Amino acid sequence: MSAERTRFPAAVFRHGTEPDPRFTLANERTLLAWIRTALGLIAGGVALEVLGLDLHPQLRLIASLVLIVAGIATPLLAWVGWIRSERAMRLAAPLPGSLLAPVVAVAVTVAGILVLIAALL
């Protein structure tokens, strides 16, 4: 059995040729960085609600939920991004754009605006 058949996910590794290991490892580090970001988003959302800061309660809850939902979505989108990048490298194709950066940027911006408004009320 070849190494490509035993590697997960086979949908990635059965295509193309093996890229320079440095690029594969960099792609993996990016995935892990997004997972750390997800943990931070979830922790921030939980902390915002659990600490019970003197903010407008509904806006604080919505901001917390935005951060937690973004934290849940981040590893899933990071996994998809890892697959897309790994496959592109194996096929010597241009790397795809990020699906994740705009999602996280919008979520953090929305949560920040909600917290700002909640603090002002």
- Map the chain to HEC letters: CCHHHHCCCHHHHCCCCCCCHHHHHHHHHHHHHHHHHHHHHHHHHHHHHHCCCCCCHHHHHHHHHHHHHHHHHHHHHHHHHHHHHHHHHHCCCCCCCCCHHHHHHHHHHHHHHHHHHHHHC
Q: pLDDT tens for residues 12-68?
A: 888 888 888 899 999 999 999 999 999 999 999 999 999 988 899 999 999 999 999
HSE on the CB side for 100, CA within 13 Å? 23
* pTM score of the predicted model: 0.85
Say if residue 4's pLDDT is above 60. no
Q: Residues 13, 14, 15, 21: is their CA dihedral positive or negative?
A: positive
For the record, the structure tokens of 31 come out as: 């995935």
Domain borders along the chain are 20-120
